[in-house]
Amino acid sequence: MNASTVDRRIRALRPPKNAVDPYRAHGSVVEDERRPDGRLERAVTVFLAGAECPFTCSFCDLWRTTIEGPTPAGALVEQVEGVLATLGDISCERLKLYNSSNFFDKRAVPAEDVPAIAALAAPFGAVTVESHANTIGPTALDFAAQISGRLEVAVGLETIHPAAAAQLNKRLDLARFDRAARFLLDNDIDLRVFVLLGTPHIPVHESVLWTVRTVEYAADRGASVISIIPVRGGNGEIERLQARGDFTPPTLLQLEQALDRCAHIRSSVVTADLWDVERLPACEHCRAARVERIRRFNLTGRTEPSIACDAIHGNVDISALAAVASHHA
Ligand code: SF4
Ligand SMILES: [Zn+2]
């Protein structure tokens, strides 16, 4: 893919990448996740270090943990082996391989490594990988055929707000997403979807609404799991957009509201991504209680009574939240 002017502008604003070792995963986590049948499933996520994604989405900071150039052959196998060796007696049903890029891009995942990765995945009943909708095709079917468990592909839908989606520089239109979703489901592969909260170019008072609409859209297209991800600053471009008034950092309260408004969806598991949740603006009086309420919702899918707080943020005055947070700090 040739870099466009927009790509070059976004890349020019980036701070340096983290130092990553291509032979060592840059992280891993074991956690329980709810599945559409209500069952809790233990999953290990391996955060793989490899080649950078060729897309240049305006909100993305995953490139920080990628390397320059293609992933060396054999490196991902070593990374997965390294993490699995640390599990000891912990038994996980799902292996999530997140490579900060597209698993079906041969530059990111060398074709010669795929059989060894599939062999390492053999003890797991299910495997999740991530991919841009545009790179979902026959390679996904090949991988599904090689693993013994069930394949799930995680795809960023981000937002269905037409004007905002066009500004993300993701090169994804809804028709392409729909085709990818249909292709996966037709081939008995599960679909996981990432949806943004705080998408740039969506007015702040419509932010939660569009997140909920996008979650509903993904649920209608058969997603098993939909994860709401708050947009975070730090990649340079987001700061540029914020300075222009085109981005407002999403708050913890908005994340909770979005999740509450998705509670009616029963066909898909809808969760809030709590990675880096401490960075979300919030009232310090009720922050911890709200995070725990969200954590419980992620596991049970059951809404609970809203959290009472003496601070004035209530359910509406999101823009006052930063002031409330500092007032109570
Ligand atoms: S497709 Fe995914 S990994 Fe690639 S730039 Fe966009 S958000 Fe980042
Ligand atoms: Zn509060």
* Residue ranges per structural domain of the chain: 3-328
| Contact predicate 66/51, CB 8 Å | yes
Pocket of ligand 1 contains residue 291 by CB under 6 Å = no
Pocket of ligand 1 contains residue 94 by CB under 6 Å = no
Tens-digit pLDDT profile for the chain (329 aa)? 556 999 999 999 999 999 999 999 999 999 999 999 999 999 999 999 999 999 999 999 999 999 999 999 999 999 999 999 999 999 999 999 999 999 999 999 999 999 999 999 999 999 999 999 999 999 999 999 999 999 999 999 999 999 999 999 999 999 999 999 999 999 999 999 999 999 999 999 999 999 999 999 999 999 999 999 999 999 999 999 999 999 999 999 999 999 999 999 999 999 999 999 999 999 999 999 999 999 999 999 999 999 999 876 644 444 444 444 433 33
For atom 3 of ligand 1, which residue has the closest CA?
A: 101
Whole-angstrom Cα distance, residue 151 to residue 145? 9
State residue 2's pLDDT score. Answer: 59
Q: Which of 170, 171, 235 to mutate to test the pocket of ligand 1 (most atoms within 8 A of CB)?
A: 170
Pocket of ligand 1 contains residue 214 by CB under 6 Å = no
The bound ligand whose nearest atom lies closest to the alpha carbon of 286 is 2
Q: What DSSP string runs through 274-309?
A: -TTGGGS---TTTHHHHHHHHHHHHHH----PPPP-
Which residues share a beta bridge with 126?
94, 150
* Cα-based distances in Å from 165 to 135, 174, 240: 18, 9, 17
Q: Which atom of ligand 1 lies at the shortest distance from residue 59's CA?
A: 7
| Contact predicate 126/95, CB 8 Å | yes
Instruction: Domain 3-328: give its CATH superfamily.
Output: Aldolase class I (3.20.20.70)
Q: Which atom of ligand 1 lies at the shortest distance from residue 53's CA?
A: 4
Whole-angstrom Cα distance, residue 146 to residue 143? 5
Q: Which atom of ligand 1 lies at the shortest distance from residue 132's CA?
A: 1
- The 10s digit of each residue's pLDDT in 38-50 is 999 999 999 999 9
Give residue 169 CA to ligand 1 midpoint distance, Å.
Answer: 10
The values of phi and psi at residue 311, to 5°, are -65, 160
Give residue 252 CA to ligand 2 midpoint distance, Å.
Answer: 10
Pocket of ligand 1 contains residue 132 by CB under 6 Å = yes
- pTM equals 0.94
State residue 317's pLDDT score. Answer: 45
Evaluated on CA atoms 33, 35, 38, 39, the torsion sign reads: negative
Rg (CA), the chain: 20
